Amino acid sequence: MQRLVITTVGTSLLTNQIDRECENSDYDRLLETANYSDEEVLLYEDVVEIMGELKVRAETKLKGNIDDIRKACAELNGIYGLYNNDLKDAYSDYHLLIHTDTAQGRDCAKILMKFLTDKEIKNIEILCSENFSTASNDNFLIGISQLIPILKNKITQDYKGYTICFNLVGGFKAMQGYFNTIGMLYADEIIYIFEESTEILTIPKLPVQIDISQVEAHEVALAVMDVGKVPISWQVANQVPKDWVTRTGTELTLSIWGKLIWNECKDKLLSKDKLLNFPKFVSKLNYQKDYLQKDYENTTDTRIRIRLQEKLARAAYLLLKYRDGIAALKDDDILRLRKYEGVEIEHINITKKELRLSCEVINNDLYLRYFGTHEHIYKKEGMKK
C-alpha cells in the first residue's frame, strides 16, 4: 500500500556540518538566529556567510554513501530507516516536508526536497504556515493550529486510503511533541530513531477516540472560535474546558488541543439533522421561523451542510466580534452581505457561485431565512428576477 510520509524538518542538516571543536561560535550563532526569517537573516552578513558555507558542506555530504547521508541530518536518517536503506521502495509514495517559516527551516527543506528528487522520488511537497516558528509561544501555537486542518484534509481527503507515516526523527523538540499527539489521531505509524543509532523505533496506531458527546456540549462555542478570537465576556466560551482554549489579553480562541479535537469531530457535528443553535448564544443572530431548518433538512449532501454551518459560525463570529456586526458582514470578503435589487431581503454567500442564504436586517439584528440557489430563494421570498 502506498504511504504518505509526513516529515518534520528541523535544522540538523546545517548544524550537523559544524565542527564543534573549532567552530563552536558558529554553532551558537546558528542557534541564536534559528527563528530568523529570510528578511531578518539578510541583515547579518556573518549569518549569511555561515549558512552559505554549511549548505555547501551539507550538499557535499549528501553525495556520499548511505552512512554519510544518514549522519548528515535526522530527517534522512528517519527516511532511510523507514525504507531499510533502499529508497527505490519510496518511488510510489508521497512525501510531505513540514518546516518552520524561517530561513534555516526553509533552506533545509529545499535541500532535502532536491536530494529526494535527485533520487527519483518525485511526489514531494513542502509545507509551512505563515510565521510558524519557535520564536514565541504565540507564533508556535498559531502555526500548529493553522497546520492541523491542512493536514487533516490531506490525510482524510487527498491521500485517503494511504498508509500514513509520521517521521518525527527530525524537527524541533516542540514540533515532535505536538506532532506525536496529532499522529496519535491520524497516523498509522510514527517513527523515531534510537539515540546514536540507525535503527528505527515504530509506534503503531493507537485506538485513540474522542468522546464526541463532550464536544457536542460545546459545539457552538467551538465552531465560532474555530473562525477566530472571541471576547472573553462571551460566557459560552468560558464554559469550554480550559485545555481547549487559549486566552490572549481579553480574547479567547481554540488552543492546539481544542483545534485538534474540534477538527476531529466537526464534520459529524456540522452535518447532523439539526442546525447548531447559534441564536441561543449570539443575541444578534436569529433563525426566522423554521424556514432555514427545513431547507437544511432537505439538503442531503453532507459537504453542503457543513459548508452552510461553517458560514453560520462565521456570521455569528462577526456579530460577536464587532460592535457594528452588520457592517462587518457587509465588508467581509467571504460572506458579503448585500441586498437583492428592489427589495429589503438581503443575502450572504455560502458558495462562490450557486448557494446563498437569504436574510433580513431588523434593528441591527440578522434574521436568517432561506437557503439554496438564487432560484429557490426568489421563489420562497416571492421576488421577481
Whether residue 293 is predicted with pLDDT greater than 90 in this model: the reply is: yes
How many Cα atoms within 13 Å fall on the side-chain side of residue 70?
A: 20
CA distances (Å), 211 to each of 224, 261, 268, in order?
20, 9, 12
Residue 326 pLDDT:
96
The alpha carbon of residue 117 and the mean position of all alpha carbons in its chain are separated, in whole angstroms, by 26
Rounded Cα distance between 112 and 257, Å, is 30
Model confidence band, residue 128 (pLDDT cutoffs 50, 70, 90): very high
State the pLDDT at residue 20: 76
Mean pLDDT, the chain, as a whole number?
91
Contact 381, 368 (CB under 8 A): no
CA-based nearest residue to 212, from 222, 203, 204: 222
- Residue 182 cell numbers, joined: 496529532
Rg of the chain (C-alpha set)? 25
Q: Which residues contact 380 (CB under 8 A, 6 or more apart)?
A: 291, 358, 369, 370, 372
Q: What is the mean pLDDT of residues 218-244?
A: 95
Here the contacts of 163-166 (C-beta below 8 Å, separation 24 or greater) are: 163/1, 163/2, 163/3, 163/4, 163/188, 163/189, 164/3, 164/4, 164/6, 164/188, 164/189, 165/3, 165/4, 165/5, 165/6, 165/82, 165/189, 165/190, 165/191, 166/6, 166/8, 166/190, 166/191
How buried is residue 27: exposed, middle or buried, by Cβ count under 10 Å (0-12/13-18/19+)?
middle
pLDDT value at residue 89:
87
Backbone torsions φ then ψ of 273, nearest 5 degrees: -75, -20
Cell of 335: 460572506
Please tell me the predicted confidence (pLDDT) of residue 55. Answer: 93
Percent of the chain with pLDDT over 70: 99
Given the DSSP bridges, would you call strands 124-127 and 163-167 parallel, antiparallel or unpaired?
unpaired
Terminus-to-terminus CA distance in the chain, angstroms? 54
Residue with grid cell 539578510, as numbered in its chain:
42
Residue 295 predicted with pLDDT over 90: yes
In this predicted structure, the answer to whether residue 66 has a pLDDT above a threshold of 70 is yes
* pLDDT over 90, % of the chain: 69
pTM for the model stands at 0.79
Q: What's the pLDDT at 195?
A: 65
Helix segments in 119-209, DSSP class H: 137-153, 173-186
Region 157-184: mean pLDDT is 90
What per-residue string of b and e applies to 191-201 under the rule 16 or more CB within 10 Å gives b?
bbbeeeeeebe
Greatest CA separation found in the chain? 82
Confidence at 249, pLDDT banded by 50, 70, 90: confident
